[in-house]
Amino acid sequence: MTDLEARTEPASAPGRRDFLRLGIGAAVAASVLSPVDAMAMIKAPARQLAMQNLHTGESLKVDYWVKGRYSREGLRAINRLLRDHRNNEIHAIDPRVLDILFQINRMMGSRGPVHIVSGYRSPETNAMLRETSDGVAQNSFHMQGRAIDLRLPGRPLKQLRRAALSLRAGGVGYYPESEFVHVDTGPVRQW
């Protein structure tokens, strides 16, 4: 198993637009927060995720939210872990989907790494999967870095699905035959 924290290979960072969007969101939040609330946000505990990519065997434990903002280094490491394993293409992962994983992990009291079945998918990979599998959307949120297919070892899949649905944060797909739950940051829906 490769530990991505120890890797020094360059990985593609989130794009400028991603950071501008995050910066604008932080600026808007700061403008409506009182100084006390803003300070509390900065002092909030870090958000950490432990993940294992089931296709590459790579694992990662990283703080992706630190001192009230997303960590550039943490996001870069996550983007690399969740790359399209078929062609090694890296794409920025929507931090909101990471927040969904973080909340699910907390709700379920999971101690081990989240097992990642699928993160980012290139358009070529998505097209190939559509030809060979049922249930792969033509315009999948995976191609935008806005979806993750996961399982939590030692936790019932039905319980994972219920936790994801309770957040009402986006789409939730239930695939018991393939033993994973899909979460995304699209409209609230389920299948």
pLDDT digits (tens, 9 = 90+) for 44-96: 899 999 999 999 999 999 999 999 999 999 999 999 999 999 999 999 999 99
CATH of the domain at 47: 3.30.1380.10
Give 178's pLDDT tier (boundaries 50, 70, 90): very high
Q: At what angle do helices 157-167 and 95-108 cross, to 10 degrees?
A: 120
What are the residues whose beta carbons fall under 8 Å from the beta carbon of 143, sequence distance 6 or more?
A: 120, 121, 122, 123, 126
User: What is the distance between the alpha carbons of residues 174 and 178, in angstroms, rounded to a whole number?
Assistant: 9
Distances (CA, A) of 143 to 18, 52, 89, 184: 15, 20, 11, 11
Q: What is the pLDDT of residue 28?
A: 46
Q: What is the pLDDT of residue 44?
A: 82
User: What is the distance between the alpha carbons of residues 61 and 55, in angstroms, rounded to a whole number?
Assistant: 17
Phi and psi for 164 in degrees, rounded to 5? Answer: -65, -45
pLDDT tens digits for range 103-136: 999 999 988 899 999 999 999 999 999 998 887 8
For residue 144, what are the domain limits? 4-190
pLDDT tens digits for range 155-175: 999 999 999 999 999 999 999
Please report, to the nearest 10 degrees, the dihedral formed by the alpha carbons of residues 22, 25, 27, 28 taken in order: 170
User: What is the distance between the alpha carbons of residues 142 and 25, in angstroms, rounded to a whole number?
Assistant: 23
What are the residues whose beta carbons fall under 8 Å from the beta carbon of 131, sequence distance 6 or more?
A: none
What are the residues whose beta carbons fall under 8 Å from the beta carbon of 28, sequence distance 6 or more?
A: none
DSSP structure class, residue 89: B
Domain tally, the chain: 1
Q: Which of 19-28, 39-48, 81-90 is predicted with the least confidence, judged by mean pLDDT? A: 19-28
User: What is the distance between the alpha carbons of residues 175 and 191, in angstroms, rounded to a whole number?
Assistant: 9
Classify strands 171-175 and 189-190 as parallel, antiparallel or unpaired. Answer: parallel
Q: Please give the share of the chain, as a percent, with pLDDT higher than 70.
A: 78
